[in-house]
Amino acid sequence: MAEQVIEGGAANAWQEAVIDKLPLAEALTGVEREVMAYDVVIVGGGPAGLSAAIRLKQRAEKHGKEITVAVLEKSAELGGHILSGAVIDPKALNELFPDWKERGAPLETPVTKDRFVVLGPVGKVSLPMFALPPMMHNHGCYIASLGNVARWLGEQAEALGVEVYPGMAASHVVWDETPESGGGRVKGVVAGVFGIDRDGKPTGDFQPGIELHGKYVFIAEGVRGSLAKTIMARHNLCEDAQPQKYGIGLKELWQVPADRHQPGLAQHTTGWPLDEFTGGGSFIYHFGDRYVAIGYVVHLNYKNPFLSPFDEFQRFKHHPAISEHLEGGTRISYGARAITEGGFQSVPKLSFPGGVLIGCSAGFVNVPRIKGSHNAMKTGMLAADAAFDAVMAGRSGDQLVEYQTAYEKSWVYKELRGVRNAKPLLSKFGTTLGGALGLFDMWFGTLFGGFSLFGTMKHGKTDAASTETADKHKPIAYPKPDGKLSFDKLSSVFVSNTNHAEEQPGHLKLLDPSIPILVNLPKYGEPARLYCPANVYEVLYDESGANPRFQINAQNCVHCKTCDIKDPSQNIVWTTPEGGGGPNYPNM
């Protein structure tokens, strides 16, 4: 059977052409792999992938049938790469496990206090919650670690017979190119490639990986996944959608003194330190054992190439309305992750020959609610229903169009449609006017069945194309961290427990190695050194301050994917490193 095994990462035909011309690692040339066949192979052990696996097994148990399911997770353990606020809407969990409380799901802190605050440089204004649309209220939601929820979902999945493989990064798509398949069917994936040195040669620990073939393959990698990008490009899944929009979310977990802890408080802010036309905001959640989860989101369509999301987050914590939550506490962990923000307009076609996109691989985050895990779980369940019915009917490798239909009839579709103009209004009119218009639009839609006076607005250009040249902006002088409330990037990476095998090939690929210095540095000031929250990218000079060179510290990478999104030259391609590498987030 004719098949191709191609590394993931390309987002368009140009990138794919360049990646295809890169020499195949010597260790993988002519290699033979073991093949394992399943009914459904799921790439990604987050809320979407695990909910899909559980639903498949639940359906099989209910109907007295057998269905084989494998879940691949690149983190060393389930939940290790999960980063979210998180205030969790249990809507999907109620459907998946109506008895989740009795089963011990780690959602132990209900939201009891809801605040929305607009910050100025010193002061603050609290908005009355009754002024916000009902969907933005957090009554009935729970503050929790989404990573711990993923770990719990993994336990439920394994109890039902799902085969879960942590530490197994899916690095390549296996394509079926035979004429009878129609060409371009996703047959499976390659996972578990280990022991290749930075020159592409096998080491003593070399393992060529395993091909996992599925009647259907679910892509649940999360935001900007490398396999999802390649599949979307190959099948033009984004052809009828608006460009996906993104934010970068930075988060720290603190443990604070008992007299500062307010269990059940969910506070969100907008305004300072960002300017009127740089979108973003914060969250502060009090939960668990004197924990405070604090985070900051910067929308990646910002214009100023000198802006550093990490440093905006650090100075934000010094605002009097914020520092009061943290003083006397200890920072436990840090992480960063890209967030899909395009919403309704940017959801791609969800099915392709041989599989589907679920969860954040497709982008179901509700930006005004600052929530997406419930939608991710639900889309995984919808896809599972479609796949189960197809497998039981003897189908294999075709398009699960029933999943697309089910999504368009679901409460996920309705929820995203109701907030579809919030992000475009912010981008077009700025925080104050755009925010007010967004609230009006959401209230109007709530009262009139989802109708909007604005219709369905477009996002326009990509976040990379939104970056303006350096000559239009001034460098930003950020305050030095004090080591108590604010910190530098390297000490932050340390508490993210990030680690990569040092001798492996670089997973951050430059399509043209000359562009950072010859194009990005003179034109944009090389923004990679600033938008990266982990000090992965540096511009170094010799002793005389001349002869700049671009350095990539790939071992620092926390897998946020911001470089893949924001690089104005679209020259950086994020690909998955060896399984088990990257951050290992506890309670995040």
Read off the tokens for 122.
């010193």
H/E stretch holding 78: none
Please list, residue by residue across 71-82, b when 16 or more beta carbons sit within 10 angstroms of its beta carbon and e when fewer do.
bbbbbbbbbbbb
Q: Which fold has domain 490-574?
A: Alpha-Beta Plaits (3.30.70)
The DSSP line for 229-278 is HHHHHHTTTTTTSPPP-EEEEEEEEEE--GGG--TTEEEEEEETTS-TTS
Backbone torsions φ then ψ of 264, nearest 5 degrees: 95, 0
Average pLDDT, the chain: 94
**Encoded amino acid at 537, one letter:** Y
Q: Over the stretch 339-396, which tens digit does the pLDDT of each residue have?
A: 999 999 999 999 999 999 999 999 999 999 999 999 999 999 999 999 999 999 999 9
Q: What string of DSSP letters covers 462-478?
A: -TTTTPPPGGGS----P
Band of the pLDDT at 11, cuts 50, 70, 90?
A: low
Per-residue pLDDT reduced to its tens digit, 48-86 = 999 999 999 999 999 999 999 999 999 999 999 999 999
In this structure, CATH architecture of domain 3-84+150-241+348-418: 3-Layer(bba) Sandwich (3.50)
The residues that bridge with 269 in the sheet, in sequence order, are: 117, 282
Kindly report, residue by residue over 104-125, the tens digit of the pLDDT.
999 989 999 999 999 999 899 9
- Distance, in Å, from the CA atom of 365 to the CA atom of 416, rounded to the nearest integer, reads 8
Q: Which residue has the tokens 């035979």?
A: 178
On whether the CB atoms of residues 558 and 582 are closer than 8 A, the answer is yes
Query: Which pLDDT tens digit goes with each residue over 131-186?
Result: 999 999 999 999 999 999 999 999 999 999 999 999 999 999 999 988 877 778 99
Taking each continuous run of H as one helix and of E as one strand, the counts in the chain are: 16, 23
Bridge partner list, 110: 142
- In the chain, CATH 3.50.50.60 sits at 3-84+150-241+348-418
Within the chain, all domains assigned CATH 3.30.70.20 are found at 490-574
Least confident of 85-89, 154-158, 248-252, 500-504: 500-504
Question: Which pairing describes strands 163-166 and 69-73: parallel, antiparallel, or unpaired?
Answer: parallel
